[in-house]
Amino acid sequence: MTLVMKFGGTSVGSAAAMRETADLILQARDTWGDVAVIISAMGSKPVKVTDLLLEGAHSAFTGDRDTFPRLARLLRDIHYEAIDGLLSPEGERQIILAEIERFIDRFVSLCGAVGVLGELTPRALDTISGMGEQMSVRILAAYLRELGYESEAIDATELILTDANFQNAAPQIASTRKRVQARLLPLLEADAIPVITGFIGATADGVTTTLGRGGSDFSAAILGQALDADEVWIWTDVDGVMSADPRLVPGAISIPTLSFREVSELAYYGAKVIHAKTMRPCVEGGIPLRIKNTFNPTHPGTVIEEDSPQQNGTLKAVTAINGVSMINVEGKGMIGVPGIAARTFGAVARLDVSVLLITQASSEQSICFIVPESAAAAVVAGLEAAFAEELGRHDIERIWSRDKIAIVTIVGSGIQTTYGIAGRIFSALGENQVNVIAIAQGSTEFGISIVVAGDDVGRAVEHVHNLIVAR
């Protein structure tokens, strides 16, 4: 059996954390046989190595020549401390120290070059920001060797072939699969533990790319698919996917099982559990994805897998997105006129603003949609320009935005097949004086989204959540 496990920055954030992570790896190996490990750059809140690397690059770009040398010292301290705590002087301590030193030197010279050239390309950003993972894997693999296990640190630049869309590169699955199998299967066969960098890949020319911030989860899923793994585990610091944000709802509970579709609704609506792209390789490979808590490793966490019928009838989670605005395009002259919606969304797309939710009632007297509050003024201005003629003729009477609202999304496959669920939700909101501004239910019916005033969002989430725990 093959298990792919990903550990985030906190799980490798110090010598002590790496020690616990190594324990979890070795335990999993006892039960699963083959284990491939993906890790992030070191990162204990509030200091995350990836952030430091990026800060170095950006500050160098502004001509600041003091910050990146200071950050280099900090990076050195963080990594040296872990190495000192894990590797013995008789063992590989000196070798790994020297390897880390090489990356830090490289960081310094790249930042220096950015400053001299006054140019910071997405390509340079990826090379610089990807070094955190390249350092952390070397330390953890050396520690596993120190414990007496075969282990190898591997840069995913060797494994994950991507396009050249730096900062947000897309993997090419077929070639990645070939590389992964050729490189990792012999290691697993030889009982070695591959420790692989999350976050990065490389173009066909071998230039480092990154998969987007938080992309190590995605790396794990890509490698899981390429290895035909039996499960992919994402280790984090909560007991899986929670029924609501525990900071908003103290009674939030861990959800035992979720379907891929349910979780995609959640990821979309901002429950920052796993990187949004993580799901796809698992869906394609039919691989269950488990979210587990490093601080509570015996808790089963949440398993996300293919839709299963017995999950119906259950509301599972409620999430909220704050800081959004509702844009309204209103007018009697819009009735029956084709193309208004296309032109509206065309204008929004040209502004490069993504739309979070859309509703239009059949009376066709208004189109409303939700965008991030920060984009609202630009969207209104863009639409006024696009519809100047219609506004002049009063076919469209008004284009305006309603600010300080929130989207509350309730997720559960049962919404599709169970009578009365929507009714219960709206009763709960009504009884608690939450005014519903708009509603959207996608045709997949795995979720209902309700637009409420920003002031109502806490109450809305709390009372909908009561329906979830009272099931």
Q: How far is the CB of 275 from Mg ion (least distance, A)?
A: 6
Q: Which of ligand ASP, Mg ion, none does residue 9 bind (CB under 5 to 8 Å by kind)?
A: ligand ASP
Locate tokens 């050239």: which residue? 117
Contact 400, 331 (CB under 8 A): no
Select 8 or 447, whichever has its Cβ closest to Mg ion: 8
Select 168 or 322, whichever has its Cβ closest to ligand ASP: 168
**Residue 215 binds Mg ion (CB under 5 A):** no
Which of 115, 171, 215, 224 lies at the binding interface for ligand ASP (CB under 6 A)?
A: 215
Tell me the C-alpha distance between 271 and 241, whole Å. Answer: 8
Select 200 or 334, whichever has its Cβ closest to ligand ASP: 200
Select 134 or 151, whichever has its Cβ closest to ligand ASP: 134
Select 58 or 213, whichever has its Cβ closest to ligand ASP: 213
> Which letter does DSSP use for residue 254 in this model?
B
**Residue 41 binds ligand ASP (CB under 6 A):** yes
Return the closest-CA partner of residue 244 out of 468, 450, 421, 39: 468
User: What number of chain residues touch ligand ASP (CB under 6 A)?
Assistant: 13
**Residue 40 binds ligand ASP (CB under 6 A):** yes
**Residue 136 binds ligand ASP (CB under 6 A):** no
The tokens describing 458, both together, are: 């806490």
Q: How far is the CB of 425 from Mg ion (least distance, A)?
A: 30
Locate tokens 């109502």: which residue? 456
**Residue 382 binds ligand ASP (CB under 6 A):** no
**Residue 214 binds Mg ion (CB under 5 A):** yes
Which of 9, 281, 285, 331 lies at the binding interface for ligand ASP (CB under 6 A)?
A: 9
Q: Which of Mg ion, ligand ASP, none does residue 331 bind (CB under 5 to 8 Å by kind)?
A: none
Residue with the CB atom nearest ligand ASP in the bound state? 216
Tell me the C-alpha distance between 326 and 405, whole Å. Answer: 7
Cis, peptide link before residue 372, omega less than 30° from 0: no
Q: How far is the CB of 132 from ligand ASP (least distance, A)?
A: 6
Stretch 6-65 residues interacting with Mg ion (CB under 5 A):
8
Return the closest-CA partner of residue 414 out of 261, 246, 288, 286: 261
**Residue 447 binds Mg ion (CB under 5 A):** no
Contact 408, 324 (CB under 8 A): no
Select 8 or 194, whichever has its Cβ closest to Mg ion: 8
DSSP H/E element including 9 = none
Contact 40, 9 (CB under 8 A): yes
Tell me the C-alpha distance between 273 and 214, whole Å. Answer: 10
Select 40 or 203, whichever has its Cβ closest to ligand ASP: 40
Give 367: exposed, middle or buried? Use CB within 10 Å, 0-12, 13-18, 19+. Answer: buried
Select 198 or 288, whichever has its Cβ closest to ligand ASP: 198
Q: How far is the CB of 198 from Mg ion (least distance, A)?
A: 9
Stretch 245-304 residues interacting with ligand ASP (CB under 6 A):
none
DSSP track, 154-197: E-GGGT-BB-S-TTS--B-HHHHHHHHHHHHHHHHHTT-EEEEE
Contact 364, 335 (CB under 8 A): yes
The tokens describing 84, both together, are: 């000192």
Buried b (16+ CB within 10 A) or exposed e, 124-134: bbbbbbbbbbb
Select 53 or 111, whichever has its Cβ closest to Mg ion: 53
Select 194 or 412, whichever has its Cβ closest to ligand ASP: 194
Q: Which of ligand ASP, Mg ion, none does residue 382 bind (CB under 5 to 8 Å by kind)?
A: none
Contact 60, 119 (CB under 8 A): no
Q: Which of Mg ion, ligand ASP, none does residue 171 bind (CB under 5 to 8 Å by kind)?
A: none
Helices (H), 297-420: 340-350, 376-386, 388-392, 414-417
Q: What are the CA-CA distances from residue 352 to residues 349, 375, 379 (Å)?
A: 5, 10, 10
Stretch that binds Mg ion, among 5-13, 240-248, 424-432, 451-459 (CB under 5 A): 5-13
Which residues contact residue 247 at a Cβ distance below 8 angstroms, ignoring those fewer than 6 apart? none
Q: Which of Mg ion, ligand ASP, none does residue 319 bind (CB under 5 to 8 Å by kind)?
A: none
**Residue 58 binds ligand ASP (CB under 6 A):** no
Interface contacts to ligand ASP, rule CB under 6 A: 8-9, 40-41, 48, 50, 132, 198-199, 213-216
- What are the residues binding Mg ion (CB under 5 A)? 8, 214
